[in-house]
Amino acid sequence: MQNKHLCVLFLIIIIYACKKEKKSEIQDPKKSEMSIAKTHVTKTSLNSEAVKKTKDWKEYKNLNEFIIRFKNTSPNDALNNALELKALVKNLKDSIRISELKTPAFRARLNILENETLRLVDMTYITAITADQVNQQVDKIFSLYGSINSKINTIYIKKHFDDDLDLVIFNSMDSVSKKQTNLKHKKPNKQS
């Protein structure tokens, strides 16, 4: 009889201990790695001249605003927003209105950005994807976005340099022309 009481007491203690463990698990939920936000960085932004030249490019503005919101995101949020990002990149790629940006090098950067966003969309269908893999993909997208900004900056810096060089050459030619004109006018005066 005493053994029965000990067994019952032992079972009550075990049941009570198990209930206590469950309560602590419920009270202390751990965030999954897919829910932990990470800050992603764009290394290059547009310089002031490039901002002026692209101010009317609505598709670029839309993508830029999305990227700013996307900087501090979790892998789950990145996957959930992948389709929107894909649409914004596609719109950007199809809407190059600025003649200076219609170069093969710039289009290549846009194509690579589109491919990487498509890769992020594909990741939404992979159930075994890890948070680290998603974060690496988002980092690639941010790096490519920075390279697009860098290319835009470079195009306008080069254009500004070429314009300055043309002005210097024009002024040099203008001064040479003036000298030649002065010489032509002086020659007839010497003969008279």
Indicate whether 107 belongs to any domain.
yes
CA torsion sign for 12, 17, 20, 26 is: negative
Domain tally, the chain? 1
pTM score, two decimals? 0.71
Indicate whether 49 belongs to any domain.
yes
Indicate whether 93 belongs to any domain.
yes
Indicate whether 45 belongs to any domain.
yes
**Each residue's pLDDT expressed in tens, for the chain with a length of 192 residues:** 667 776 676 767 777 776 655 544 444 345 688 999 999 998 889 999 999 999 999 999 999 999 999 999 999 999 999 999 999 999 999 999 899 999 999 999 999 999 999 999 999 999 999 999 999 999 999 999 999 999 999 999 988 887 776 666 666 655 555 555 555 555 555 454
Indicate whether 178 belongs to any domain.
no
Indicate whether 189 belongs to any domain.
no
Q: What is the 3-state secondary structure (H, E, C) of 73-94?
A: ECHHHHHHCHHHHHHHHHHHHH
Q: Which DSSP string corresponds to 124-146?
A: TT-TT--HHHHHHHHHHHHHHHH
Provide the token pair at 28.
């202390």
CATH, residue 108: 1.20.120
- Per DSSP, what are the bridge partners of residue 72? 39
Q: How far is CA 191 from CA 184, 186, 187, in A?
A: 12, 9, 7
Indicate whether 82 belongs to any domain.
yes
Length of the chain: 192
Residue-number span of the structural domain to which 84 is assigned: 39-166
Indicate whether 7 belongs to any domain.
no
Counting Cα atoms < 13 Å in the Cβ hemisphere of 30 gives 3
